[in-house]
Amino acid sequence: MEGEWQSKIIRMPLTPPSPIAPYRIAVIGGGISGLAATHRLAQLFPQAEFEIFEAASRLGGVLNTVERDGYLIEQSADNFLVKPTAGIDLCRELDIANNLLTTDESRRRAFVVRGGRLVPIPEGFYLMAPRRLWPFLASPILSIRGKLRMFAEPFIKRAANGRDESVASFARRRFGEEAFEQLVQPLVAGIYTADPEQLSMDATMPQFVEYERARGRVLRSTLQLSGKGNSDRSESASGARYGLFVAPQRGMTSLVEAIRDRLPRTTLRLSTVVNRLTPLAGNRWQVECDAVATPSMFDAVILALPSHAAATLLASCDSLLAAELGAIQYAGCAVVSLGFARQQIGHVLDGFGFVVPRSENRRIIAGSFASLKYADRAPADQVLVRVFIGGALQPELLSLSDAELAQVARQELAELLHASGEPLVTDVARWPRSMPQYHVGHLDRVRRIEEHATKYATLALAGNAYRGVGIPQCIASGQSAAERIAAALSLRA
């Protein structure tokens, strides 16, 4: 596994002259993108002064680890991919890479709910197509008719116009309705909490689009990946590339703390909402917030916020940019974590979790066997299961109380995992309007946003709203924003 992590950290060569007075830089948003941006800028400008403005009472954004009764509970993401490499590279810089855990190799598979039962996703099936033939043929998830339709994919003509289309449209067109309903839709929902009827292929699964555009077919391309001596053991997992997932030993909050502890000359303003952002002469900025009586002046600003929050701050100075930012839609989700004694669960739990097709008419998106993926997430002989509720397809469920959400999770696990009795621990985390929805045309909108933002040399945008929702993509977004600001300040000097 260690060999899979090796990568060369490529950084922009930049040795800016020291200004007479140190630069003052504001980072608005203390999630992983804002922290990564601050860390990178501190490397480039060691004498700069930073202020991080965060509306919540803690750093980390949606990343938050809770320890309770011997359980280590992640309230949102519980791991990240080592490819792309921005996450693992940052961990190396922070000297915490040796504390990363890999998933249990013996359980690297997932399930899909089919007729109220958990059925293993075929070994090697990833998002939309199999990379191994025989496990897919032997799987009972699709009917014979559904399999025949899927294997007719090489004879389907490629799209003529080359335009972006929805995941649902692409999957139905190439693989048929049954494959879409039983496999593609639940797997996509488990990652993006999205409606695949609107989700962009170009923004979320460009590799499959490229297979069609370049080769005219998808299935043969994915099967060839396995047939060309690909040694990536993650290809034999099912549902996700579990061999490429890692997690900090003491949870995602430890990553947040490691970055925080490496930030020099940084003022943290927690529980602080920025109310107004005003451009000033000389490419400087004025930041106003209720917690600080006098507006603060900064040489540069990084907005590491949800795009709708960034739109609110920019509305008074640039209505066109704000409109594009505000047009990116968001979905919310609740994560219910339940701890059980192992004997309370009748299922063998020989995997990492399950996804739920919309056609099953259930009230959950997916479930994750958190304590089986990584060590020390639950006491001995106990199990921690995380249940995901809401998303773009069932937003009304977020109006339920915490008690009602926990009850929904318990009832679903009782039916799907044969869980009995009351859980030993319950934790409910709500993330309203937290997951950007990459609808068809998303990349075109991002290009317009980026082009329009170039008129502000010392303003940069970062976060999961633009070019990836995963932790590595958020880190890379923050680092890219930092390097944009560094280049502008170097020109000024």
Per-residue pLDDT of the chain (493 residues; tens, 9 = 90+): 333 333 333 344 444 545 556 999 999 999 999 999 999 999 999 999 999 999 999 999 999 999 999 999 999 999 999 999 999 999 999 999 999 999 988 899 999 999 999 999 999 898 898 988 899 999 999 999 999 999 999 999 988 788 999 999 999 999 999 999 999 999 999 999 999 999 999 999 999 999 999 888 899 888 876 655 444 445 556 667 788 999 999 999 999 999 999 999 999 999 999 999 999 999 999 999 987 778 899 999 999 999 999 999 999 999 999 999 999 999 999 999 999 999 999 999 999 999 999 999 999 999 999 999 999 999 999 999 999 999 999 999 999 999 999 999 999 999 999 999 999 999 999 999 999 999 999 999 999 999 999 999 999 999 999 999 999 999 999 999 999 999 999 987 6
Q: What is the C-alpha R_g of the chain?
A: 23
CATH topology of domain 65-85+99-107+330-436: Polyamine Oxidase; Chain A, domain 2 (3.90.660)
**C-alpha to C-alpha distance for 34 and 481, rounded to whole angstroms:** 9
The CATH-assigned architecture of domain 123-238 is Orthogonal Bundle (1.10)
Structure-token match 């480039």, residue found:
44
pLDDT of the residue at 159: 86
Strand order in the sheet with 459-461: 266-269, 49-53, 24-28, 300-303, 459-461
Total residues belonging to the chain: 493
**489: number of Cβ within 10 Å:** 23
Q: Under CATH, to which class is 21-56+270-327+439-492 assigned?
A: alpha beta
Establish how many alpha carbons lie within 13 A of residue 258's alpha carbon, considering only the half-sphere containing its beta carbon.
19
425-445 burial, b at 16+ Cβ within 10 Å, e below that, comes to bbbbbbbeebbbbbbbebbeb
- For 55, the token pair is 């509306």
Peptide bond into 84 cis (omega under 30): yes
pLDDT of the residue at 237: 67
**C-alpha to C-alpha distance for 303 and 437, rounded to whole angstroms:** 19
Q: Considering only the C-alpha atoms of the chain, give the largest distance between any 2 of them, rounded to a whole number of Å.
A: 73
Domain ranges of the chain: 21-56+270-327+439-492, 65-85+99-107+330-436, 123-238
Residue 431: beta bridge partners?
Answer: 333
Pairing of strands 245-248, 100-102: antiparallel
Strand order in the sheet with 80-81: 80-81, 245-248, 100-102
**C-alpha to C-alpha distance for 1 and 16, rounded to whole angstroms:** 38
pLDDT of the residue at 21: 67
